[in-house]
Amino acid sequence: LDTYVGNVATEILDNVAQLQMLGVRKVLVNNLHPIGCTPLHTSSNNYTTCDLLGNYGASVHNKYLKQMLEERDNVHILDLYTAFTNIINHAPGGGSAESKNFKGKLTPCCESAYKGGYCGERSHSGKRLYDLCETPDKMFYWDQTHPTHAGWEAVMKALQQPLMEFLDEDYVA
């Protein structure tokens, strides 16, 4: 895992260096979100807890990325891991204010009607082979890996201030 993650982080560093050599003054690089908290990984335990191994892999990647990029000027890491974690934190009373808006934090809104299927799948006759939740705005994840629109709004709200500060824009909460 360490070798693979190190190679990926090195490639990202090389790409950032190339962008800067081309004249890009400020570069944003997002780190990995807690992959073990996606419905793809939480489905095995009925969407109750995050998968520690998946989150460990993301943490190792994020650590390498931070170490490699901290020496570069005008590079900012968008901390998706912390933003996602603060929203999907399942501890009673835990998480950000936005997290309280979601009734489903580890469960997808769109889910296959059978094991091995996927959101949006249809039969040969056109019959829908997936189920949709009634309130997507109350769910953090749309499908097995992607946040809903409401989920992304909450994440971006958490990232807005550090992003604007990095870009030297006037930030108004």
CA pair distance 173, 171, nearest whole angstrom = 6
Which ranges of the chain would DSSP assign to H, the alpha helix? 2-21, 39-42, 52-69, 80-88, 149-166
Burial of 7 (0-12, 13-18, 19+ CB in 10 A): exposed
40: confidence class by pLDDT, cuts 50, 70, 90: very high
Assigned domain for 106 exists: yes
∠13-14-16 over CA atoms, to 5°? 65
Q: Where is 142: in which H helix or E strand?
A: none
Annotate 80-125 with DSSP letters as a single string: HHHHHHHHH--STT-S-GGGGG-SEEEEESEEESSTT--TT-B-TT
Assigned domain for 104 exists: yes
DSSP SS3 for 119? coil
Q: How many domains does the chain have?
A: 1
CATH number for the domain that contains residue 95: 3.40.50.1110
pLDDT at residue 68 is higher than 70: yes
More reliable by pLDDT, 98 or 92 = 98
Residue 104 confidence (pLDDT): 82
170: confidence class by pLDDT, cuts 50, 70, 90: low
0.85 exceeded by pTM: yes
93: confidence class by pLDDT, cuts 50, 70, 90: low
Taking alpha carbons only, the member of 158, 164, 159, 9 closest to residue 71 is 9
Assigned domain for 10 exists: yes
Domain range spanning residue 112?
2-166
131's tokens: 């189920």
Assigned domain for 172 exists: no
Assigned domain for 173 exists: no
Assigned domain for 125 exists: yes
Assigned domain for 171 exists: no
Assigned domain for 22 exists: yes
Amino acid at 137: D
